[in-house]
Amino acid sequence: MAKQTYLALDTEMVWDEHLYEAHRSIDQKSHRHAVAVKKIMAASVFEFSIDTEGRIETGTLASWTEHDWGDERAVIEQLFDFLRAHSETPVLTFGGLATDVPVLLLGSMAHGLALPPQLVDQPGRRGPRPHLDLALQLKGGGRTWSHLSQVLLRMGVPDELVSAKPGVAQPSSAAGWKSLRDHVELDCLLLALAKIAWLVAQGFDGLRFQAAAIGLVAGFIRRRPEHAMVPILADYSVELQSEIADHFEIGCRVRLMST
């Protein structure tokens, strides 16, 4: 049965103080938050699919950090190799066109790496988009941008999961790098949840948020049973199941009253 597959992508970056000071020596008005002084220290991808009846299937959950691979170049190489191996699958980001993609492009230029097909600029491109920026889709033709954390809270995602969303500093211990890996992987799951909610709003046939979210969370936990957020994710899944049961019970009562 036909299905749509996405690669939810998230990266974690760190300010490079040497680059910042070099920029400052050239331009004293150089902004600290300039994209050019950011470097990639971790990345993650979560694969998920939706078939024509709204059923969810989860695939690979992959992540790479400097701690495991040595440096920025190695992290970017691993990410790009993964994306090339899934070249027919579109990449999904939140605000990626403004941040993730430019920093990855700068990293590619710095290290002499070729971008994967999903991230190559293709003026006049026809056919399916290889990169979907959910932040841009939410903005539409308006002027208002929403932060992913705001969107998730509006969707009813538990505060404990959303509070773990903001960026983190570069770790200084193995335990810190483990937390960073958990962080970037969780961000991919949260992005996938937001995409599902957006598709439901667009009228995707057969797709129901609670059931789809349960599938995403279950797939994530199966692949990362040691993840720090598993207890909270499990509670969230139970909450979603209760919502489905409540809706079913209300529906049954309405039908009985109408007969």
Residue 19 pLDDT grade (very low, low, confident, very high; cuts 50, 70, 90) = confident
pLDDT score recorded for residue 2: 77
38-51/3-15 β-pairing: antiparallel
The model's pLDDT over 141-190, given as tens digits with 9 standing for 90+, comes to 888 889 999 999 999 999 999 986 666 778 989 999 999 999 999 999 99
Residue 21: DSSP 8-state: H
The whole model's pTM is what? 0.90
- CATH number for position 40: 3.30.420.10
**Which letter, b or e, does each residue of 91-118 get, where b requires 16 or more Cβ atoms within 10 Å of its Cβ?**
bbbbbbeebbbebbbbbbeeeebebbbb
State how far the Cα of 234 lies from the Cα of 80, in Å rounded to an integer: 32
Counting the structural domains of the chain, the total is: 1
pLDDT score recorded for residue 26: 77
Q: Over 70: is that where the pLDDT of 252 sits?
A: no
Residue 94: DSSP 8-state: S
pLDDT score recorded for residue 254: 47
For 121, the domain range is: 3-258
**Which letter, b or e, does each residue of 234-254 get, where b requires 16 or more Cβ atoms within 10 Å of its Cβ?**
eebbeebeebeeeeeeeeeee
Q: Radius of gyration (Cα) for the chain, nearest Å?
A: 20
Distance of CA 196 to the CA centre of its chain: 12
pLDDT score recorded for residue 21: 74
The model's pLDDT over 26-80, given as tens digits with 9 standing for 90+, comes to 777 766 667 888 899 999 999 999 999 999 999 999 999 999 999 999 999 999 9
pLDDT score recorded for residue 256: 47
The 3-class SS string of 24-61 reads HHHCCCCCCCCHHHEEEEEEEEEEEEEECCCCEEEEEE
Residue 43 makes CB contacts below 8 A (sequence gap 6+) with: 9, 10, 11, 12, 63, 64, 75, 76, 78, 79, 184
Residue 67 makes CB contacts below 8 A (sequence gap 6+) with: 171, 174, 177, 180
State how far the Cα of 170 lies from the Cα of 37, in Å rounded to an integer: 14
The residue with greater pLDDT, 124 or 8, is 8
- Residues pairing with 119 in the sheet: none
Segment 127-139 shows an average pLDDT of 87
131-133/38-51 β-pairing: unpaired
Inter-residue contact 194 to 221 (CB < 8 Å): no
pLDDT score recorded for residue 124: 59
- Residue closest to 98 by CA, chosen among 144, 62, 134: 134
